[in-house]
Amino acid sequence: MQKPDFLNDKPKVLDLFCGAGGLSLGFENAGFQILCAVENHSDPIYTYINNRLEKQNKPDFLIEDIRNIKKRNIDNTIAKSFKIIPKIDVVIGGSPCQGFSLRGRREINDPRN
C-alpha cells in the first residue's frame, strides 16, 4: 500500500477516458499526480502502464464504462492504494472520438460520442 504524500503539494488528478495515457503523461510531466485513471477498454491500459514503468507514483485504474461509474467507485479504487482518500484537484479527460473518426462510421448518434 502506498503512503499518501500530501506534503508534496502536487495537484491530484482524476483522468477520465484515459486511453493509453498521453494526457496523463503530459500532466505528470507538468508536475501533477494522477491518482486514478478511468477507461472503458482494458487494451490501452497496457500502454499506459508501460509508459510509466520507471515512475514512482502509479495511478489506480478503473476499467468501466463512464456512464456506469459513481463517485464511490472512484473512491473505492483510490482507497486500495491510499489509507486516506485524497482530494481530487483536477479532472481531465480525452473524450472518445471513435464515432467521429475517419475509420468510424461518423454517426452522430454513436453512443461513444
Q: Which residues are catalytic?
A: 97
Query: Which letter, b or e, does each residue of 55-89 get, where b requires 16 or more Cβ atoms within 10 Å of its Cβ?
Result: eeeebbbbeeeeeeeeeeebeebbeebbeeeeebe
Helices (H), the chain: 22-29, 43-50, 71-79
Cα distance between residue 66 and residue 88, in whole Å: 17
Do the beta carbons of residue 86 and residue 12 sit within 8 Å?
A: yes
